[in-house]
Structure 1
Amino acid sequence: MLAVFDRGAPAPCPVPFNMAAYVLGCADALPEKTALAVLSPAGPDIWSYARLKAAVLGTGAGLLARGFRPGDILLMRLGNTVEFPLAYLGAIAVGIVPVPTSSMLTAPEVAKMVAQLSPAGILRDAGVACPDDTGLPVIGTDELLAMRDLPPADYAMGDPERLAYIIFTSGTSGNPRAVCHAHRAVWARRMMHDGWCGLRSDDRLLHAGAFNWTYTLGTGLMDPWSVGATALIPAEGVAIEALPELLKANDATIFAAAPGVYRKLLNHHPKLDLPNLRHGLSAGEKLSETIRAQWNAATGGKLIFEAYGMSECSTFISASPTALATQGTLGRPQVGRRVAIVDDDGPVEIGQEGTIAIARSDPGLMLGYYGAEAETAERMQGAWFLTGDHGAMAEDGQIAYLGRVDDMMNAGGYRVSPLEVEAVLHHAPGLRDVGVTDIEVKEDARIIAAFYTSDAALDEDSLRRYAEDRLARYKQPRVWVRIDAMPTNPNGKLSRRALKALYPAG
């Protein structure tokens, strides 16, 4: 039996279509309902659906009045404020192509993006790094703020296959790739509502991320708005340890965050009183079984549902309230998705390891990498898009995640997933965090190294014995390196490539 999940195609995207029009489709029927509450200790900033729609379409009108036209690319260098989603949807509403970027990028990094995309202009907060010598029109936050009150523009309806927005993702070569998405991408997110979020119109979803993160834009804002629910976003500067109080005080029913947020929150709050919360959502990186168990215990039995996705196709494998994951798996593909585990010859047999792949016909799949047709083609294999991640599928469709292809370790000829080793070592006494990678100690000789943080120096023999008792020899770290903090990329994910540089030479 081949490792292919296919339970039928989803409903086709309507034609004509506009992504922003779909996201705000409930606004006219629910004008006074709270669409967004920006939460702070001083009190929430409330946005009704009527106010939200007016600000989005006013922003779209303002961008057109500034001379931008449908199809133009606008680079977004905005901070963690409501201006970010307003400008993002405002541009899309009138057919302009926004490029949301992390505010943590440096000016030289942004300069490379400008050179790659040749945008028509930049939306810029003065406090966010950006090169000053681009020669491009710059729209500041004051001007964006004034646009909210302009008479609304009309939605630019059209082919759902046309370009809607561009996001950057890390490239295997070390250079960020510009991922182009069509307007139909948001229509594909309907499969997540049942297949991951358990999202309802009466939900109040609190996302712990910043406005200018694509995880927040999708799961935290556009998904709840598209069903007429309420989005709750902590204001900039709200500490993680304050989130439980915000969750309870604002009657949050769903909590979404990256695994690291759950971990830090639990460090401050071993017990959580969240009577209205139904469940949590996790994405961005693999959720450890330790965090899952601690959250379940702290909340009195509330579950976290994990989702797997990527910049090229958002989330398409997940657990949900109606389809629980078996331990050690991500869950199964959402109904409507066609997913397989493949090798060079196509789908492998059930239970065999291979590359996780999604059908090229999936409505959530990218159009391609901007200006990189050859690299786009490299990710395609016949009818499949190759994710670059390893996994194995069970007979019921559950998929075990075995790590990125370029993260997979090779020690003594054995291929080992760092996630498997890390999951065991996270329980070692005294360890706060751990990251594992393989190190080339001499030509053609690689060993597994464990990098860890702890409150005090740990006895290496004890760590070694702990690993020996729980891991096959070829999976055991041969060296242990204590570091001050785990290196992460701009999205907060562990950077195993950076770990290698921390290995002491000699």
Structure 2
Amino acid sequence: MQKLLSDYLSAHKEDFVTHTIVGLFRQAARWYPDKDAIRLGDAKMTFSMLDRRSDQLAHYLTDHDRIGPGDIVAVATGRSVATPAVVLGIWKTGAAYITIDSCCPESHNRSCMQSVHSRVCIDRRYYDAAVAVCDRPPAFQDRSRLDQLALVLFTSGSTGDPKGVRILHSNIAASVSNFDCLPLRSDDTFASFASLLFIASVYDFCSSLSLGCTVQIVPASIRKNIRELAAFYIQNRITATFLPPHMAAKYIEVDGGTTLRLLLVGSEMTRHLEKRPYRIVNIYASTEACAVISHYQIQDSRPVYPIGKLVPALKGYIVTDDGKPAPTGQSGELWISGAQVCNGYLNLPEANRTHFAPNPFEAKPPFQRVFKTSDIVRMLPDGNMEYVCRKDDMFKIRGFRVEPGGVENYMLEFSHITEACVTCFTDAGGTNILFGYFIADTKIDHQALRAFLLERIPGYAIPTGFIQADEFPRKQNGKVDRHGFCPPPELNDHKKLATLYY
């Protein structure tokens, strides 16, 4: 037996297409039965204990509530060592799950449960009762199958309406199979920072438990305090973690004494990260692709980084408006195919027709279906992809199409600007007016910024007004909310706009 399960799995990728995460986890439990699988403060579970606890829950679910294939169970155990046991226990019965979080409005949680017809909600009391009743049960016969639904993850679209993404066991297994291009190893201690509501946390747990890593759950109380987080990483000898870009930038400033080997950064545009002793990987991901789509290793400070190359389990196509492959350097919508691509949206047939379609470029499974990401990208000469903007965020200014991401990238090249966001407001006469918001460490001369941009982009793409801000509005997942900016009160008075914001 080799020392690291990750080395074995890297050489035997067929294991990922023939096993669910339950099967991969049980393989890891055979390799590392006494190793800590999950830790949070003083609470922890070894791999063998986690297997046993999830067996106990699976027995209770089937005997007490008749849960099995086709059912969807709500999980409300929060950021605790019990949650992975609950998820594995649900999967062992053949059922799927949704996550219920106390930070969400009760009406939202109730709506999610009703939409999936969930009749059981597992909170800490339910879990404790299940473990107490099934003290020493026999090993549970795993009923999970690759073609079964594993979870429904609710994500907000551009309209803000929650969409339930249907994720199969095969999607998760395919996503985890990309671990070695990041790379994750069995001897890693992975700090799980992401909210349980997001696909990043699903990837954290599933990849770690499949490889035999230890997952160290970051306490909710320190997730927004970078100094406490950095101390936590040192104290627990964290070797790998995921952080959103704004937290990664702060972490780099206070990372003295770190044990980190791998920092994954993603969820929005990554900018200005200095090279460190540990590896920094920019990842581009989506819920519909069950986490990581592409990756790029950061080695120097730049205003913006490429999103890199596709992970091995996916194929991608950059497509123009007429459905043709875009030449290198020309922007187009990214379509992806492969076993990672989810099973569509829950009860949203129109959205499914819009975003999922037969693959016009390849008919061979598992690439016979594409997900149209609505992300505009371009292929660079070196084979890396560059993110441009969301398809829905393109603006028409005086008849010209403006890609705000491109304007933002040039704004970020201007000295002292650290963040930029370009958005559009429509005045009372129906005219679209472009505004550029930015954060900087000093007061910026708008005329100098405008002259700088005029040397690089067409005049119609330069914002009519610039506004320096202390912070940007953000969505619940931490991403900048481009549509969360309020229009200036002088929007309909163009003379005042020119005086105040030009």
Match of 1:85 in 2: 84
Q: Distance in 2 between matches of 1:447 and 1:473?
A: 13
Query: 1:158-203: CA deviations, max 9, x gaps?
Result: 54112111111223444211111111122112442122x2111112
CA contact (8 A) 1:59 1:148 kept: yes
Alignment of 1:182-331 (within 5 A): 182-195=168-181, 197-218=182-203, 220-238=204-222, 239-266=225-252, 270-274=253-257, 276-288=259-271, 290=272, 292-293=273-274, 296=275, 299=276, 301-313=277-289, 314-319=291-296, 328-331=305-308
Distance apart, 1:433 and its partner CA: 4.3
Q: Distance in 1 between matches of 2:474 and 2:331?
A: 28
CA contact (8 A) 2:303 2:409 kept: no
Secondary structure of 1:368's counterpart equals coil
Secondary structure of 1:27's counterpart equals helix
Alignment of 1:317-356 (within 5 A): 317-319=294-296, 328-343=305-320, 344-356=322-334
Match of 2:111 in 1: 112
**2:24 corresponds to 1:22:** yes
For 2:389, which of 386, 403, 414 is the aligned residue?
403
Distance apart, 1:357 and its partner CA: 0.7
Unaligned runs of 5+ in 2: 1-12, 360-369, 493-502
Match of 1:497 in 2: 483
Distance apart, 1:33 and its partner CA: 0.9
Match of 2:33 in 1: 31
Distance apart, 1:489 and its partner CA: 1.7
Distance apart, 1:321 and its partner CA: 9.2
Match of 1:49 in 2: 47
Q: Distance in 1 between matches of 2:269 and 2:98?
A: 26
Larger proportion of helix: 2
For CA contacts below 8 A with separation 6 or more, give which structure has more relative contact order: 1
Q: Distance in 1 between matches of 2:456 and 2:76?
A: 47
Q: Distance in 1 between matches of 2:103 and 2:441?
A: 28
**2:50 corresponds to 1:66:** no
Secondary structure of 1:348's counterpart equals coil
| Inter-CA distance 503–280: structure 2 relative to 1 (3 Å threshold) | farther
Match of 1:419 in 2: 405
**2:176 corresponds to 1:177:** no
CA contact (8 A) 1:55 1:147 kept: no
Match of 1:3 in 2: none
Distance apart, 1:27 and its partner CA: 0.9
Q: Distance in 2 between matches of 1:443 and 1:423?
A: 30
* Matched residue type, 2:332: G
Match of 2:335 in 1: 357
Q: Distance in 1 between matches of 2:405 and 2:396?
A: 13
TM-score by length of 1: 0.81
Distance apart, 1:416 and its partner CA: 3.1
Q: Distance in 1 between matches of 2:92 and 2:489?
A: 49
CA contact (8 A) 2:17 2:174 kept: no
Query: 1:368-409: CA deviations, max 9, x gaps?
Result: 211223321221343122111011124553111111111223
| Inter-CA distance 206–114: structure 2 relative to 1 (3 Å threshold) | closer
Farther-moved stretch of structure 1 (487-496 vs 372-381): 372-381
Q: Distance in 1 between matches of 2:53 and 2:489?
A: 51
Secondary structure of 1:58's counterpart equals helix
Secondary structure of 2:49's counterpart equals helix
Secondary structure of 1:184's counterpart equals helix
Q: Distance in 2 between matches of 1:351 and 1:457?
A: 34
Secondary structure of 2:30's counterpart equals coil
| Inter-CA distance 11–388: structure 2 relative to 1 (3 Å threshold) | farther
CA contact (8 A) 1:182 1:367 kept: yes
> Percent identity over the alignment?
21
Distance apart, 1:211 and its partner CA: 4.4
CA contact (8 A) 1:244 1:274 kept: no
* Matched residue type, 1:20: V
* Matched residue type, 1:437: T
Match of 2:356 in 1: 380
Distance apart, 1:30 and its partner CA: 0.9
Alignment of 1:418-457 (within 5 A): 418-426=404-412, 433-452=419-438
Q: Distance in 2 between matches of 1:191 and 1:18?
A: 11
Farther-moved stretch of structure 1 (443-452 vs 310-319): 443-452
Alignment of 1:139-158 (within 5 A): 140-149=123-132, 150=134, 151-152=136-137, 154-157=140-143
Q: Distance in 2 between matches of 1:444 and 1:328?
A: 35
Distance apart, 1:320 and its partner CA: 5.1
Cα RMSD after superposing both structures:
3.1
How many residues align? The count is 460
CA contact (8 A) 1:407 1:417 kept: yes
CA contact (8 A) 1:412 1:447 kept: no
For 2:152, which of 166, 189, 193 is the aligned residue?
166
Match of 2:120 in 1: 121
Match of 1:137 in 2: none
Farther-moved stretch of structure 1 (69-78 vs 476-485): 476-485
TM-score by length of 2: 0.81
CA contact (8 A) 1:18 1:155 kept: no
Q: Distance in 2 between matches of 1:482 and 1:101?
A: 38
